[in-house]
Amino acid sequence: MNRPVRTAAGRVALYAVALWVAVAVEGAWAWRVSWLGGTLDPVLLVVLAAALRYGPEAGAWAGLAGGLLQDLAGGGPLGLGAVAKLVVGYGAGTLARSVLLDSPLAPCAFAATATVTSRLVDAAVAAVVGEPVLVTAAALLVSVGYNMAVAPVVFAGLRRVEGRSVARGVPPARAR
């Protein structure tokens, strides 16, 4: 029962389930701990974990799937969140190829950067399509704090479920 996930289909299934769980957690619980407009974004953290672990293509696909699930569950315009998550997934996967990720603080740093990027891309795409979005500094800082606090738990949980034993941090995508 504690076998590692070795096939591509197994990894896709794992991350699909993780995205569904993240959307469920966000819909059922995360919005309740909103403070100053900032919320936890568990979907972003799963997308980030996929991107850092498997590179830009996997990150982009996870971002597209997670963003669409988030848009469908949230009831807003379909595709706004998907574009932001796709950009974050691809960007994080690309950056992971050139950055050493051995530090235990790497998940937190990537979560902070991804949160800011996601919110800004969200606002930019919403402005292009005429959907009003307000991003305040307080809401952004709270969201960054929430995501930084939860990122190591999400990353470690996904690694553990995958059956990989990594001492610290997330291995670089270029080491595949």
Amino acid at 111: A
Residues 44-62 pLDDT 10s: 999 999 999 999 999 999 9
Q: What are 35's strand-pairing partners? A: 38
Cα–Cα dist 160/18, whole Å:
13
Amino acid at 40: L
Instruction: Tell me the torsion sign for CA atoms 160, 8, 47, 17.
Output: negative
**Distance from first CA to last CA of the chain, Å, rounded?**
25
* DSSP tag of 91: H
**Helices 80-96 and 106-129: angle between axes, nearest 10 degrees:** 140
Between residues 171 and 50, the one the model is more confident about: 50
Q: What pTM was computed for the model?
A: 0.85
Cα–Cα dist 97/129, whole Å:
33
User: What pLDDT is stored for residue 151 in this prediction?
Assistant: 94
Arithmetic mean of pLDDT, 136-164: 90
Class of domain 8-163: mainly alpha
Is 109's pLDDT higher than 70? yes
Cα–Cα dist 84/72, whole Å:
15
Confidence of residue 7 (pLDDT cuts 50, 70, 90): confident
Q: Domain extents for the chain?
A: 8-163
Structure-token match 């619980």, residue found: 29
